[in-house]
């Protein structure tokens, strides 16, 4: 009889709190600088923001981080739920960024699964936008059950270049 050995998850997943604002800010700015097409915000918009601004962002949103064993933050994903009565039934997935050196390890999927698990207890569906040319991200979201419900042409403009965004949703009930 053979025994199965448990596979260790190479990352520690936990909510990023206000006290983590410094390391979160550093990773967020890296993402905005290196992959500007993946975010609605720009590096210039957020580089001048105070640490307090990032602390408030983390307090108002549920942002999960993937950390290495040595405590290095290598990936993030958040969910925003509106406080408005007519909108609080849905959450918006936002801010996914995985450091290039850990892409392909399953961290993005792990973060998304954890955020979705949390979302099921607080909203009826999760929405997201993803740049249409990011095939890997689109495929990940499709594998997680998200379905495309629209396309916003020229959703983002970076310099003179436009990027279309897919609108996707994951309903938890019919």
Complete domains list, the chain, with CATH = 12-171 (3.40.630.30)
| pLDDT, position 16 | 97
Q: Identify the band that residue 10 occupies on the pLDDT scale cut at 50, 70 and 90.
A: confident
- Return the number of other C-beta atoms located less than 10 Å from residue 114's C-beta: 17
Given a cut of 50, whether residue 155 has pLDDT beyond it is yes
| pLDDT, position 2 | 45
Given a cut of 70, whether residue 3 has pLDDT beyond it is no
């Amino acid at each position: 009889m053979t025994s199965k050995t448990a596979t260790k998850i190479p990352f520690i997943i936990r909510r990023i709190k206000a006290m983590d604002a410094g390391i979160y800010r550093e990773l967020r700015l890296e993402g905005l600088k290196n992959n500007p097409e993946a975010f609605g915000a720009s590096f210039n918009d957020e580089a001048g923001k105070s640490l307090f601004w990032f602390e408030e962002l983390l307090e108002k949103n549920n942002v999960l981080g993937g950390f290495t064993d040595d405590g290095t933050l290598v990936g993030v994903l958040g969910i925003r739920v509106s406080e408005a009565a007519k909108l609080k039934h849905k959450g918006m997935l936002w801010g996914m960024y995985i450091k290039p050196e850990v892409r392909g390890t399953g961290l993005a999927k792990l973060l998304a699964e954890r955020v979705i698990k949390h979302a099921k207890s607080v909203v009826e569906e999760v929405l997201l936008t993803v740049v249409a040319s990011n095939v890997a991200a689109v495929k990940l979201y499709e594998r997680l059950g998200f379905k495309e419900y629209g396309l916003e042409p020229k959703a983002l403009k970076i310099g003179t270049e436009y990027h279309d965004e897919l609108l996707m949703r994951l309903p938890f009930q019919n």
